[in-house]
Chain A
Amino acid sequence: MRYMMFVATDPEAEPFVAEEDDIADWAADVDARGVHVFGERLRPVQDATLVRVRGGELLVTDGPFTESKEWIAGFGVLDCRDLDEAIEIARRHPMARFGRIELRPIWPLDVAEDPTAREEREAADRGRRTEPSVGRSNPDRTG
């Protein structure tokens, strides 16, 4: 199971202390375990570029800037057994203390699949019945 690990700043986090930044230990550990596929830090939002196409016209601007004090400072792709292992890895990343980490399951995309067919397949999956249908009651539990 692969997870995208967004490493973000957080104004409510513990203040950064350089001596406590043990990212090298973390990196050595995840590499040894073979769970870290790829990751980097990111330049701040001031160096970001926004690209849009509207009505066929290219719009390139500086940004995006938000009022938010939380921005993505880096990322990593984890390949783990399950969410508990991903949490166990994320909790030991220094930015779990100095910022925060968001784990998102990677959602594989088969680019060769017809987009309409994909849409229908995933809608059917979302609508799958997960509860006994209405009117079919359980036996009386209390007797």
Chain B
Amino acid sequence: MTDPDAGAAADAAADAAAAVALAYREEWTRIVATLIRATGDWDVAEDATADAFERAALRWESEGVPRTPGAWLTTVAKNRALDVLRRRGVETGKVREWMVMDELSGGGASDDPGELAAAEPEWDDRLRLVFTCAHPALPIESRVALTLRTVGGLDTGEIARAFLVPESTMAQRLVRAKRKIRHAAIPYRVPAGDELPERLGGVLAVLMLVHNEGYLASSGDRLLRLDLQEEAIRLARLVVELLPDADEARALLALLLLQHARSAARVDADGELVPLDEQDRSRWNHAEVAEGLALLASPSSEPGTIGVYRVQAEIQGVHARARTADDTDWARIVGWYDALLAASPSPVVELNRAVAHGLAGDTELALAELDRLEASARLGDHHLLAAAQADLLRRTGRPADAAARYRDAIRLAPTGPERRFLERRLAALDGG
């Protein structure tokens, strides 16, 4: 046993593993998307692609990493898919023809030779995949799962753990979704012109759900689940890359980045929640802040209309530009909430606008708005409503009323960290 050889072998293994991991991030979606179009079979496409990466993990270590890993993987995956189909007795002549055509046209060719004449733009296959996974005829939880599995390349177990469901439940959800795509003939296509904005909204909603799931667990003590937030950002980047003119897609990416930028400052060393106004802003991820703000700096591609993600991102942008919490331009935030309320009315937005009014200095107006919201019962018993009222009552010097509402909020809070944060606020009130 010679050390130099062992060292070289270890290096080769490490290089190969790193190359496979990198290729997985960069190539998975493209290969799967192309194979789904070529074979029309999601399972064959996913299996063949997974198989190609497994072979890469074995072969690249002994034979070295190929010069163009993506091309290597695509060829292996295509051959694998053809093998499976042939063994299943499928006539593969047509599939092979499409694959050859695909190579000649550099990808993005139509799924049907007869359709090539039709004047559809030659969309990237990955975009077809994104739209199909987010098709409104699928149940929303399946859209989320399928997007993470097929577009994101996460395995079923990872997704199941992130959503706190058994792996068998998640696997069944994916099976049913793919079955419906096949049986109901959900097309593998980017929606045409006038349907595109509406359907893009559906795609972005799926990414927002992925992010929200990562941002705040609906129950339990895991306040931050970074994987899903990063996954949402990665997927949003892909949509922006594929549809660079879509203002709402860029705005969503900005929104996700600006929120993610605060992750490190959002919990303290003990895992406890740190509210925005108490966060150490030097711990924000400044690269993500800069990228988010840069995305907002480019003007809307459709002047006169303003989308809900643009407004939400602009609100986060106001926070991101404030050097300290006291520097926050709350009047501007109130203005954005007015715009959001006009575009997409909801009691949660009303709640946030009232809080912004309070922080802009108009505490009485804010309390009156919250009282109206509470009387309307549209938010039900929501801990954030009680917490917002408690906070305003504290600021107006009514500690007894504030304490009562803090206790309500603590009772209603869905996660441990939120509960403990409110308990600290209540304790500070008693002490003060």
Contact = CB atoms under 8 A, between A and B. Distances in A.
Contact of A131 (B137, B175, B183, B187): B175
The 3 closest A-B pairs by CB, nearest first: A143-B21, A82-B187, A1-B185
Contacts of B17: 139-140, 143
Contact of B153 (A81, A83, A137, A141): A141
Contact of B175 (A1, A130, A143): A130
Contacts of B18: 143
Interface in A8-59: none
Interface string A116-143: 0000000000101111100011111111
Contact of A139 (B20, B174, B184, B189): B20
B82 to A, nearest CB: 18
B50 interface: yes
Contacts of A140: 17, 20-21, 24
Given A84-B187, A137-B155, A138-B153, A130 B22 contact: no
A74 interface: no
A76 interface: no
B56 A128 contact: no
Contacts of B50: 132, 136, 138
12 contacts: A82-B185, A83-B185, A84-B187, A84-B189, A84-B195, A105-B183, A130-B175, A131-B171, A131-B174, A132-B46, A138-B24, A139-B54
Nearest to A87: B137
Contacts of A142: 21
B186 interface: yes
Contacts of A84: 186-187, 189, 191, 195
Q: Give the residue among A84, A126, A128, A136 with the most B Cβ atoms within 10 A.
A: A84
B21 A139 contact: yes
A62 B57 CA distance: 68
Given A139-B53, A142-B21, A143-B17, A129 B43 contact: yes
Say which size band chain B's interface belongs to: 35 or more
Nearest to A137: B155
A122 to B, nearest CB: 11
B259 interface: no
Contact of A82 (B47, B156, B186): B186
Contacts of B43: 128-131
Say which size band chain A's interface belongs to: 20 to 34
B154 interface: yes
Contacts of A81: 187
Nearest to B152: A141
A141 B154 CA distance: 8
B178 interface: yes
Given A81-B187, A131-B174, 14 more contacts: A1-B185, A82-B185, A83-B186, A84-B191, A84-B195, A103-B184, A131-B46, A131-B156, A132-B46, A137-B155, A138-B24, A138-B155, A139-B54, A141-B21
B25 interface: yes
A130 B175 CA distance: 6
Interface in B11-53: 17-18, 20-22, 24-25, 42-43, 46-47, 50, 53
Q: Give the residue among A80, A82, A103, A129 with the most B Cβ atoms within 10 A.
A: A82
**Secondary structure call for the A interface:** loop
A82 B54 CA distance: 35
B158 to A, nearest CB: 8
Interface string A52-72: 000000000000000000000
A49 B38 CA distance: 49
Contacts of A138: 24, 50, 53-54, 153, 155
A143 B360 CA distance: 46
Q: Give the residue among A82, A126, A139 with the most B Cβ atoms within 10 A.
A: A139
Contacts of A105: 183-185
B187 A130 contact: no
A143 B17 CA distance: 7
A112 to B, nearest CB: 21
Given A82-B186, A130-B174, A137-B155, A143 B53 contact: no
A96 B179 CA distance: 26
A142 B156 CA distance: 16
Contacts of A132: 46-47, 50, 155
Contacts of B153: 138, 141
Contacts of B186: 82-84
A48 to B, nearest CB: 28
A143 B24 CA distance: 10
Interface in B60-81: none
B57 A139 contact: yes
B24 A141 contact: yes
Contacts of B21: 139-143
A3 B179 CA distance: 16
